[in-house]
Structure 1
Amino acid sequence: MFSTETIERLLQVIPHNELYSSPIKGLFLRHSDQPFCYEGIIQEPSICIVLSGEREVQLGEQCYRFDNQYFMFCPVNIPMRGEIKCAEPQKPFLVMSMKIDIESVSKILLANPNLADDVQKGDEGFAQWHLDESLKNAVERLFLLHENPKDIEFLAPLIQQEIYYRLLTGEQGYKLKAMVSIGSHTQKIAQSTHYLQQHFSETITVETLANLSGMSLSGFHSHFKKITSLSPLQYQKSLRLMEARRLISQEGRDITEAAYQVGYESPSQFSREYKRYFGHAPKGDIK
């Protein structure tokens, strides 16, 4: 959907083969001219649009594929893995990620009361959205501001405001509205994911999380899965394994020590789940 000329213009003004933190608030660009996997990341509330190539995102047992026709909407912090299978210098992979500014979205809804309708129109949560022409045009103008950095301070906030408006008025705009609606399922699940991130090494029951969220047990479990694409247990397990991998590969911790530190009581169970999650045994990450 983005023209080759547009992508080439952007590639002339951003770093290659790295994650680039743009001077535009909340915007990141990732370029690669070779295939790669990414594991152990927590995607913050954001929209992610593939500008060139495609990528696969793995959430629990589900695999999602994103290209320049469909983009990723992430309403809460979600641990995920993924893979870019095809990328080369002539056809690189390029993706942009823009963190969702809740305050900006709230201001738009306050200024346009008619947009606040239909918050409960459908399922909230992680989704694939079609990239329509109006949104694509706004996104294109935003990332091409890198050609004229002096324009970023004034124009970027205006274009980002337009992007939020396009999202809110789109066919799944209720998902974004739910992020800022007090008492919505999205806000309640966001509270529970934050709690899990702070206490992932502890023994936590689903009943505890449901009580913290002010929801029934069945309702909590259902909405947690819809919004994150993971069960509460899968979410906690992902956090534990991601932290264990960091401890082993970056801090040089012993495998058994890492297992106990992230909350496992059985090193053998830890090794089994580690291999199932990452595709190799823990010793494969020892530097």
Structure 2
Amino acid sequence: MHSDYETLAKMSASLADKIAPLIGQQETADSVIEDLFFYRQTQAATSCSMCVVEPSIALVLQGAKSMTLGEDVFKYDPHKYLITSIDLPAKMQVLEAKDDAPYLGLVLKLDLAMLGELISQVPLDKLNKQSLNKGMTLGKMTEPLLNAFTRLVELVDDPESMPVLAPLIKREIFWRVLNSEHGAELRHIVSTGSQGLRIARSVKWLKENYDQPLSVEDLAGLAKMSKSTFHHHFRDLTSMSPLQYQKRLRLMEARRLMVGESMDASGAAFKVGYESPSQFSREYSRFFGLSPKRDVEAFLATAK
């Protein structure tokens, strides 16, 4: 067991050395490989930041990180990876990072079509295994999985092979996660006709239409469920109600508009679907801990 732990640590360090020059001094970098992204941070965060986590597999190669979804906290490092099966508004925090040993991580977005093809080949005993039906979970890193990620990153330096081999290696990665003891939640989402897949369609609609009036009845109809059944399964997967989910998307987009596009609070409130600026201000303050104006001022001060 100890030798396995050391082997994974060495493999993670080697892969961290490979992505370090690819990301340079940036905090985020797209790779030339579709749906693969690199992340870097030189200081541990003193507080959480909000983000929408897309369906993905996330690895920490150096340092440690946490994602908070509702009451659940998912801490991961080179020995654990994060599986997110649907779009989820969550709190993110880098726990370990230094100037001489920055946090380094990578994220591979899920290809749900490819996963749907692969699931037909998963052994029946695993398909029938009950999952917790959560939209976010942790997996235990293995040498074969980390080896596959290493080979995927190495294709950056092999552009001739990339178009042929990248899809094959992604397929291997998805297969290993689907077929692992931690893949039940992911299988729940991509199984045709499953409740998870139907909730995922509703989540996709919410993400694309967060500024529209919300009708839980319509969402339940989209999922082909009764209102009570829909509400129950939605909360199971996302750790929040549909209304809370929409509210978080609205507030996070409003913050982006105020910080990134210099929009005032009232303009941002109306843009994301609020009819009352005062209600927006109250909900924003509860969510971010500061009024819209003070939050933007604090953000801009730290960015200088």
Question: What's the TM-score once normalised by structure 1's chain length?
Answer: 0.88
Change (3 A) 1:25 1:120: same
Partner of 1:204: 214
1:158 aligns with 2:172: no
| CA contact 1:50–1:66 (8 Å) conserved in 2 | yes
- Unaligned 5+ residue runs, structure 1? none
Whichever residue aligns with residue 143 of structure 2, its letter is E
Q: Deviations over 1:106-146 (max 9, x none)?
A: 33334x36469625622223211222232222223222333
Change (3 A) 1:169 1:211: same
Pick aligned residue for 2:27 from 18, 22, 25: 18
1:30 aligns with 2:34: no
Counterpart-to-counterpart distance in 2, 1:277 and 1:100: 29
Change (3 A) 1:106 1:196: closer
| CA contact 1:50–1:96 (8 Å) conserved in 2 | yes
How far the C-alpha of 1:27 sits from its partner, in A, is 0.7
Whichever residue aligns with residue 34 of structure 1, its letter is Q
How far the C-alpha of 1:237 sits from its partner, in A, is 0.9
| CA contact 1:10–1:144 (8 Å) conserved in 2 | no
Partner of 1:217: 227
Look up the SS of the partner of 1:259 in the other structure.
helix
Matches within 5 A, 1:233-244: 233-244=243-254
How far the C-alpha of 1:94 sits from its partner, in A, is 1.0
Q: Which has the higher contact order (CA 8 A, sep 6+)?
A: 1
Change (3 A) 1:109 1:82: closer
1:94 aligns with 2:104: yes
How far the C-alpha of 1:255 sits from its partner, in A, is 1.2
Matches within 5 A, 1:1-287: 1-3=8-10, 4-36=13-45, 39-110=49-120, 112=121, 114=123, 118=127, 121-124=130-133, 125-283=135-293, 284-285=295-296
How far the C-alpha of 1:96 sits from its partner, in A, is 0.9
How far the C-alpha of 1:40 sits from its partner, in A, is 4.7
Q: Deviations over 1:47-100 (max 9, x none)?
A: 111111111223234432221222111111112231214322221111111111
Look up the SS of the partner of 1:12 in the other structure.
helix
Change (3 A) 1:215 1:127: same
Deviates more, 1:71-80 or 1:58-67: 58-67
| CA contact 1:47–1:98 (8 Å) conserved in 2 | yes
Measured on the aligned residues, the alpha-carbon RMSD in Å equals: 2.5
Question: What's the TM-score once normalised by structure 2's chain length?
Answer: 0.83
Identity across matched positions, percent: 37
- Unaligned 5+ residue runs, structure 2? 1-7
Q: Deviations over 1:170-193 (max 9, x none)?
A: 013232223322221221111111
User: How many residue pairs are counted as aligned between the two chains?
Assistant: 286
Whichever residue aligns with residue 197 of structure 1, its letter is K
Counterpart-to-counterpart distance in 2, 1:218 and 1:265: 27
Look up the SS of the partner of 2:86 in the other structure.
coil
How far the C-alpha of 1:241 sits from its partner, in A, is 0.1
Counterpart-to-counterpart distance in 2, 1:104 and 1:97: 17
| CA contact 2:191–2:197 (8 Å) conserved in 1 | yes
Change (3 A) 1:192 1:33: same
Counterpart-to-counterpart distance in 1, 2:18 and 2:253: 38
Counterpart-to-counterpart distance in 1, 2:181 and 2:56: 17
| CA contact 2:42–2:101 (8 Å) conserved in 1 | yes
How far the C-alpha of 1:224 sits from its partner, in A, is 1.1
Deviates more, 1:236-245 or 1:126-135: 126-135
